Amino acid sequence: MIRVGIDSGMDGAIVALNDAHHPVVQMQMPTIDVGVRRKARKWEERAEKAIREGKKPPPKTTKGKKRIYDLVEINRIFRTLKEQDEDLYVIMEQIQTRQGESASTALTAGKGFGGIEGILVAHGIPYDVTMARQWQLAVLKGVEGNDTKARAVLCVQRRVPGLVLPKAKKKKEGQADATCMALHGEATRPAEKPLGIVVNTPKPRAVGPPPPPSKAWKK
């Protein structure tokens, strides 16, 4: 059985583990960069204003690049997993908007989340949607610390030693969360034990001498 954890954020990840806790898939959430949006335009406005006032323009920033989910690549991943093992189960984290996020960011996240759900339904893959607090309470129980991100990394290092997390902080935290969700799938949907076939064979009867012949009835 393969259990898949999906940290559904734009900086999230997809991690699949088999029953032996060996990583089958370990990757960042596939996205497509579609160019720079509002923040770049704001930089241009500030730069033009500084030039008009005879000041030095501010340094150009690369922040604000707009990304969308690469649903084609996500579909390919789950098609490959389904071909590899029919017994597949997915745990997805419910998306939540954060304070200060724009409506455009929330809309992109919602469209991506719905697109991933549609892929799972189309392939007939069973899945469950969980809040972050739910899998954290279940998987991180007994792991010391107060920072849930650091505790998730520590939990993965202990329980899945064959999975090497990246060094970049965001990528490390995203893959650690996805791995913890895959581990949470063990409790949500444990592997079914094969049923043994029981054959009821009749007990052999004791073989004795044949009964004496019955006497014929006479008038």
- Chain centre distance of CA 43: 37
- Left if phi > 0, otherwise alpha if psi is -120 to 50, otherwise beta: which for 100? left
Q: Check whether 63 has a pLDDT greater than 60.
A: no
Q: Token pair 């490959």 is at which residue?
A: 80
pLDDT band at 217 (very low <50, low <70, confident <90, very high): low
Tell me the average pLDDT across 1-5: 94
- On whether residue 143 sits in a domain, the answer given is yes
Q: Are 43 and 132 within one domain?
A: no
Domain boundary among 47, 69, 91: 69
Owning domain of residue 48: 36-69
- On whether residue 78 sits in a domain, the answer given is yes
5: closest CA among 183, 189, 181? 181
- On whether residue 218 sits in a domain, the answer given is no
183: closest CA among 153, 162, 150, 159? 159
Q: Check whether 195 has a pLDDT greater than 50.
A: no
pLDDT tens string 113-169: 999 999 999 999 999 999 999 999 999 999 999 999 999 999 999 999 999 999 999
